[in-house]
Amino acid sequence: MPMTGTYDLRLVALSVVIAIFASYAALDLAGRVTATQGRSRRFWLLGGATAMGLGIWSMHYIGMLAFSMPMKMSYDLPTVFISLLAAVAASAVALFTVSRRRMGNWQLTVGSIVMGSGIASMHYIGMAAMRVSAVIHYDARLVSASIVLAVIISLVALVLAFQVREEQRTSLRKILSALVMGSAIPVMHYTGMWAASFTHSDRPVNLTHAVSISSIGIVAIAASSLLVLTLIMVSSFLDRLLSAQRALADVAREGERYFRTLADAIPQIIWTTSPDGRFDFYNKRWFDYTSRAAEAENVAGLQAALHPEDLAASTQRWQHAIATGAAYEGEYRLQRAVDGAYRWHLVRAVPVHDSAGKVVKWFGTCTDIEDQKRNQQHLEQEVRERTAELLEANTRLTAEMQERERTQKELDLQHAKLVAELTERSKLSTLLTRMGELLQSCGTVQEAFSIVLGFAAKMFPDLGGALILLNASRNLLEVAGSWGDCQLAAEVFEPNACWALRVGRPYLLEAGDRSAQCAHVQGLQGSSLCIPMQAQGDALGVLHFQAGNRSHNLSEQELTLAGTFAEQIGLSLANIRLREALRSQSIRDSVTGLFNRRYLEETMEREVHRAARTGQSLGVIMLDLDHFKRFNDTFGHEAGDFVLHNMGVFFAKHTRADDIACRYGGEEFVLILPNASVEATQARAEQLRVGARELSFTHRGSALGTVTISVGVAAFPVHGPSPKQLLAAADTALYEAKKGGRDRVVVAEASQAAISAVAGDNI
């Protein structure tokens, strides 16, 4: 009949605790095996497998011992050890599988099956070690289930171990994994127990190597397995710690080696000092540069090579850096041993701090900047030179531009001045032309003078001036007119008073010059100019200009214009003179200077009309030289002309300005006396007759004797209404005078018609 057993729950709990502990140890050891190589690895693989196997096995056995039946239970010792070996083997497979670099599906599958089979073997071998008076039957399905469970647990254990193997410290994941694994192993164990059933048997039990386990035994198994597990875990921890320190030391050594290699490779001087500034390292470059021996260097410091002038500054700065922990930097000269030359270096040092911020080291460098500095100086010099050149060029350009601007302004000014001058000249030229045109149409010189004065005021607005003319007898200069502000010492003066007339060309007196001042400008402060005016070689007078009291002289332009002005006047006056002469020649008789017969006829017509219009009378005297043929014959024709000329002068002199004296032909003369009655005309004729007789002529040294005249007198309106009748009446009277014995005056017989006309007028 089947037997039932009971479980001591305390022992069940102990078995679960051991399983969890063993699982944790397994995970920890997996990491150790993975981290080590060679012999260490083998040690940890074997040690780990043993401890882990022991743990699993002790869980199993305490689980077995937790089960009790009402009979004596003992265990066959050799079989128990075999089951222990199975547990160790399974553990070894597990550790090996998870400590590989990678764990593929294939490895995982094989590992799980081997490990699961191992654990299952351990369990059922353990069961076989039981020595009880009962027969054990196994439920095949539950056995199978327990084996599958063992494989699944192994699979999970391998995956979890593989994942947490790198974790050096205790982590939640590691603990959770240990709990999962540690709980699963007892589940497999108790499933295996469940598969077994016991029926009582009376067959004797072989107890040759059997032992029965007491409570103390259980404690011993549990304690020893936990102790082994603890020991191996402590060992693992210590090993991990030592490895880490070794690794750190290796890293430090490696770092030092790298640093030195790097420091020697760098083409700069590298040095380090302790926190208080004591030099403890230089790279190769320093020794090459200074040719110093490596042993002597630890104290000397950079000062050994520093330029004496840089020593104080660098020391002070270095001390400040050490005191404050601030970075150190400066440019100093270091002496190069090979040639003794001091080369500029950029010296820098930075402090290295520990995690607490304390300075633990100074790292320094000296960079040779000599070439750089020289290049920089060279560049700066170049820049300075270029800048100076540019500045100079700029200054030059500015000056040139200013010069150009000034020139341009000057040109503009000159241009404006020129334009103004041209405008002025054009204006003046127009005035000159207009004056010329007006002068052209002047009939007499007097008329021309008034035009000249008018234009002078317009053309010389800044100057005063005067037109000064020689009088008829050419012995005095008289001021004909003036313009502007003209101050003259006298209105009339002698020709000699003017230097221009004396020297026969323009005379300029500069302002303030009193050396040879013309008398007519006595007392004048400013400049003056006199230009002689001539027409056909005859001096007419002086054109005078003066600049008032202006301190400066007449300008070139004024002088030129004055010259042109005078020239124009001279030319015009010459023209007028010529025209006057031509006209005079056409109306005057050249021998006597009296009007000719043509002029008489024209004038008499006009005079008769005027007399008729005004109701005045007009006297006509016709006279003829007596026996002039005989005179000619006696004294010659030339002497006759001489007498004729003098007679002309005599008649001109003894007539009034209004009277018209003319040579009527040969040695006959006619005088027209406007506004003269018959009596007045007769009286004048008588005077002339007496005067002519008293004239005595001397020609070429010989006396020519005297000449008498016979005179016929007629008058308008008594002797006729027309010139023709009047002249005929006078001629008839003259004939009567001749007939009556010559040297007498005969008044014409008044015609009846004329008398009646006169009488009619009187009524």
Under the binding rule (CB under 5 A), the answer on residue 697 touching Mg ion is no
Which residue, 72 or 627, has its beta carbon nearer to ligand GH3? Answer: 627
| Residue 195 contacts residue 124 (beta carbons within 8 Å) | no
Residue 717: is the preceding peptide bond cis (ω within 30°)?
yes
Side chain identity at 334, as an amino acid letter?
L
Element (DSSP H or E) covering residue 427: helix 370-440
- Binding to Mg ion by CB under 5 A, coded x per residue (else -) over 267-306, reads ----------------------------------------
3-state secondary structure of 650: helix
- Phi, psi torsion values for 348, nearest 5 degrees: -135, 150
Please give the full DSSP string across 173-186, using - where no structure is assigned: HHHHHHHHHHHHHH
Q: Which stretch binds Mg ion (CB under 5 A): 138-146, 372-380, 618-626, 647-655?
A: 618-626
Under the binding rule (CB under 6 A), the answer on residue 699 touching ligand GH3 is no
> Which of ligand GH3, Mg ion, none does 731 bind, CB closer than 5 to 8 A by kind?
none
d(CA 80, CA 130): 9
Under the binding rule (CB under 6 A), the answer on residue 712 touching ligand GH3 is no
Q: How far is the CB of 664 from ligand GH3 (least distance, A)?
A: 11
Which residue, 607 or 626, has its beta carbon nearer to Mg ion? Answer: 626
- Binding to Mg ion by CB under 5 A, coded x per residue (else -) over 620-659, reads ----xx--x-------------------------------
Strand arrangement of the beta sheet that strand 528-535 belongs to: 492-493, 477-483, 464-470, 538-546, 528-535, 507-509
Strand intervals (E) in 191-252: 196-200, 210-211
Under the binding rule (CB under 6 A), the answer on residue 28 touching ligand GH3 is no
Under the binding rule (CB under 6 A), the answer on residue 138 touching ligand GH3 is no
Q: Measured in whole angstroms, how far is the alpha carbon of residue 127 from the centre of its chain?
A: 108
Number of residues forming the site for ligand GH3 (CB under 6 A): 15
Q: How far is the CB of 638 from ligand GH3 (least distance, A)?
A: 8
Residue 11 structure tokens:
């022992």
d(CA 651, CA 657): 12
Under the binding rule (CB under 6 A), the answer on residue 641 touching ligand GH3 is yes
Q: Measured in whole angstroms, how far is the alpha carbon of residue 449 from the centre of its chain?
A: 67
Q: How far is the CB of 623 from Mg ion (least distance, A)?
A: 10
Residue numbers 611-630 binding ligand GH3 by CB under 6 A? 624, 626-630
Contact residue for ligand GH3 among 78, 255, 504, 666 (CB under 6 A): 666
Nearest Cα to Cα of residue 452 among 282, 573, 367? 573
Under the binding rule (CB under 6 A), the answer on residue 738 touching ligand GH3 is yes
d(CA 461, CA 485): 10
d(CA 631, CA 25): 196
Q: Measured in whole angstroms, how far is the alpha carbon of residue 608 from the centre of its chain?
A: 97
- Binding to ligand GH3 by CB under 6 A, coded x per residue (else -) over 473-502, reads ------------------------------
Under the binding rule (CB under 6 A), the answer on residue 736 touching ligand GH3 is no
Under the binding rule (CB under 6 A), the answer on residue 640 touching ligand GH3 is yes
d(CA 337, CA 339): 6
3-state secondary structure of 138: strand
3-state secondary structure of 206: coil
Q: How far is the CB of 534 from ligand GH3 (least distance, A)?
A: 35
| Residue 95 contacts residue 52 (beta carbons within 8 Å) | yes
Q: How far is the CB of 669 from Mg ion (least distance, A)?
A: 10
Under the binding rule (CB under 5 A), the answer on residue 76 touching Mg ion is no
d(CA 541, CA 476): 10
| Residue 701 contacts residue 736 (beta carbons within 8 Å) | no
Under the binding rule (CB under 5 A), the answer on residue 735 touching Mg ion is no
Under the binding rule (CB under 6 A), the answer on residue 558 touching ligand GH3 is no
3-state secondary structure of 706: coil
Provide the residue count of the chain. Answer: 763
Under the binding rule (CB under 6 A), the answer on residue 731 touching ligand GH3 is no
Which residue, 197 or 632, has its beta carbon nearer to Mg ion? Answer: 632
Which residue, 404 or 637, has its beta carbon nearer to ligand GH3? Answer: 637
> Which of Mg ion, ligand GH3, none does 749 bind, CB closer than 5 to 8 A by kind?
none
> Which of Mg ion, ligand GH3, none does 42 bind, CB closer than 5 to 8 A by kind?
none
Q: Which stretch binds ligand GH3 (CB under 6 A): 150-158, 329-337, 392-400, 639-647?
A: 639-647
Q: How far is the CB of 644 from ligand GH3 (least distance, A)?
A: 6
Positions touching Mg ion (CB under 5 A) are 624-625, 628
Positions touching ligand GH3 (CB under 6 A) are 624, 626-630, 632, 637, 640-641, 644, 666-667, 738, 742
